[in-house]
Structure 1
Amino acid sequence: MTTWWPYARLAAAVLGAAAIITQLMRTLQNGAISPTEWGAHVPTLAANFLSFFTIESNLLAVIVLSIGAIWAWTSGRKEEREPGWFAVLLTCVSTYMIVTGIVYNLLLRNVELPQGVTVPWSNEVLHVVIPLFLLADVLFAPKRRALPWSAVAITAIFPVVWAGYTLLRANVIIAPATGDAWWYPYPFLDPHLVPGGYLGVAGYIVGIAAAIVGVAALVVWIGRRRARS
C-alpha cells in the first residue's frame, strides 16, 4: 500500500480539481444567460462559488492530497511516519470532507434546485466520492502519525471563521439568481427560510460544529490507534 497509495491520493486530487473546475464553468455559463442584471456579474458569481464550504473543503483536499503524494515520492521515501504538519492538515481536510458528506446526504440531497444548476457527476464527486476517499485515507493510508488531542481544536478554526464570514457577508450580497438583498450558500443558514430565524440558524451551526468536533476526535483517535499498532 505504501507504494501505490500516493497514486490514489493524486488521482483523487485530480478528480476533485476536475469536478470543481467543471462546476465553476457551469456556474459562470448559467450567469452569462441569466435574465437578471445581477446574474451575470462574474466577480460575485466567482466569490459566491468559492464561499461554499463544500468547494473550499474540496479545494483544501485537492491541495493536501497532492502534497501528500509529492511528499511520499520525495522525502517520504525514507520516513517511517508522515510529518506532524502534514498530519494536522490531513486531519483537518479529512474532518471537513467527512462532515461535508454527512451534511449533504442528510440535509441537502433532497433540496430541489433549478434544472442545470449543478453538474450531476461533479456534484457526486464533491459530496460523496472525495468524502469517501478521505474516510478511506483515515482508515488505510500508510505512515500515519499519532497527533495530540489538541489537534481537534485546530480543526475547528476554519469552520468557525467560515461561519462568521458567511453570516456577515450574506446581507451585503445581492443574490444573483433572484435579486434578493441577501445570499446564503445553504438554506439551513438562511434566517429567511429557517423556522425561528437566526435562532434556528444558530441551532444548525451548533449541530454542525458538534459534528465537526466529533468527527475530528474520531479521526485523531483512529490516527493514534493506527500509529501505535
Structure 2
Amino acid sequence: MLRSPAWADFWAVVRILTAVAGVAAIIAQLVRTVSNAEAAGQPVGTVVVNFLSFFTIQSNVAAAVTLTIGALLFWTQGRRTGVEPRWFAILLVCVTTYMVITGIVYNLLLRGIQLPQGETVAWSNEVMHVVIPIVLLLDLFLAHRRRALPWRAVWIIVIYPIVWVIYTLVRGPLVTSPGNGEPYWYPYPFLNPNNPALQPPGYAGVAVYVVVIAVGIIVVGALAVAVGRWRASQARGSEADHTAQ
C-alpha cells in the first residue's frame, strides 16, 4: 500500500495540510503574544524576537517549510524518480528529529508550565507540541520514497541544536525580560541558570539538561536514520523480488 500512487498522493496531501496547520498555529500564538505585549506596554520588538527564539517555534517553522517542499517535490518530480533527493532526505531527518524531541521535552518537562511568551493559545499549543511531532514521526514510517542516509548524517542533525543552545545562552543575560523586568530572558526554565529549581544550581544544572537533551537528539536522530535505511533496504528487496518473478 505504501508504494501505491494513491497512497503517495494521499501522504503528500497530509504533508501540505500539516504544514498549513503548523503555520496557522504559529501565527495564532504570535498574534496572541503581540496583543498581550501591546496591552501590557511591553516592547513589541523584543517580544517578537523572544517568540522567534523558542526552539519550538523555529522547529515548527522548519517542519512547515520541509513538509511543503516534500509535497511539492512529489507532485513535480516524485512520480518520475525512485527516491527523494539527498539534500531533502537530510533536511527531513533533521526536522523529524527536532519535532520528535520537541514533543518529548514539552510533554515530559514543560506541560502545564507557563512559558514566557505570555498566555498560550490552547489549540495552537497542542498542534505545535503534539500533532506535528506525531505527523513527522508517522512520516518517517509512512512517507513515499525514503532514501537511505549514511550514519554520519546523525552529526549533521546535531549542528542546529548546538548553535541554538549557544545563541540562547549568550543572548539570555543580554535581554531584559519584557514580562517582569528581570535582567535576563531564557525561553525555557531548564536553560535559565537563575532558576532556583535547577539541581545542581546555576549553569551546572543547565549543563545537565543540555547534555541529557543532546543525548536524546543523537538517539532519536540515529533511530530516524536507521528507519530510513531499513525502509530503503525493504524497498530494494521488494524490487528485487518483483524483478525475479
In which range does the TM-score fall when normalised by the shorter chain?
over 0.9
Deviation at 1:158, TM superposition (A): 0.2
Higher relative contact order (CA 8 A, sep 6+): 1
* Alignment correspondent of 1:44: 46
* Alignment correspondent of 1:66: 68
| Residues in 1 aligned to 2:86 and 2:58: alpha-carbon distance in whole angstroms | 23
Matched, 1:19 2:25: yes
Deviation at 1:113, TM superposition (A): 5.6
CA RMSD between the two structures? 1.3
What amino acid maps onto 1:131 in structure 2? P
* Alignment correspondent of 2:202: 197
* Alignment correspondent of 2:221: 216
| Residues in 2 aligned to 1:198 and 1:134: alpha-carbon distance in whole angstroms | 32
Deviation per CA, 1:148-168: give whole Å up to 9, x if none.
Answer: 001100000000000000000
Deviation per CA, 1:54-106: give whole Å up to 9, x if none.
Answer: 00000000000000010000011201100100000000000000000000000
Give 1:144-159 correspondences, 5 Å limit.
144-159=146-161
| Residues in 1 aligned to 2:114 and 2:78: alpha-carbon distance in whole angstroms | 45
Deviation per CA, 1:36-70: give whole Å up to 9, x if none.
Answer: xxx2x121011000000000000000000000010
- Give the TM-score normalised by the residue count of structure 2: 0.90
| Residues in 2 aligned to 1:228 and 1:17: alpha-carbon distance in whole angstroms | 34
* Alignment correspondent of 2:56: 54
C-alpha spacing 1:113/1:52, structure 2 compared with 1 (3 Å): closer
What amino acid maps onto 2:99 in structure 1? M
Show structure 1 runs of 4+ deviating over 3 A: none
Aligned residues: 225
* Alignment correspondent of 2:35: 29
| Residues in 2 aligned to 1:60 and 1:113: alpha-carbon distance in whole angstroms | 21
CA contact (8 A) 2:29 2:120 kept: yes
| Residues in 1 aligned to 2:35 and 2:101: alpha-carbon distance in whole angstroms | 29
Could you say which structure has the larger radius of gyration?
2
Deviation per CA, 1:131-175: give whole Å up to 9, x if none.
Answer: 000000001111000000011000000000000000000011000
| Residues in 2 aligned to 1:69 and 1:113: alpha-carbon distance in whole angstroms | 33
Give 1:34-183 correspondences, 5 Å limit.
34=40, 39=42, 41-112=43-114, 117-183=119-185
**2:16 pairs with 5, 10, 14, which one?**
10
CA contact (8 A) 2:115 2:188 kept: no
Structure 1 unaligned segments of length 5 or more: list them. Answer: none
Deviation at 1:30, TM superposition (A): 0.4
What amino acid maps onto 2:168 in structure 1? T
Identical columns (%): 54
| Residues in 1 aligned to 2:184 and 2:209: alpha-carbon distance in whole angstroms | 19
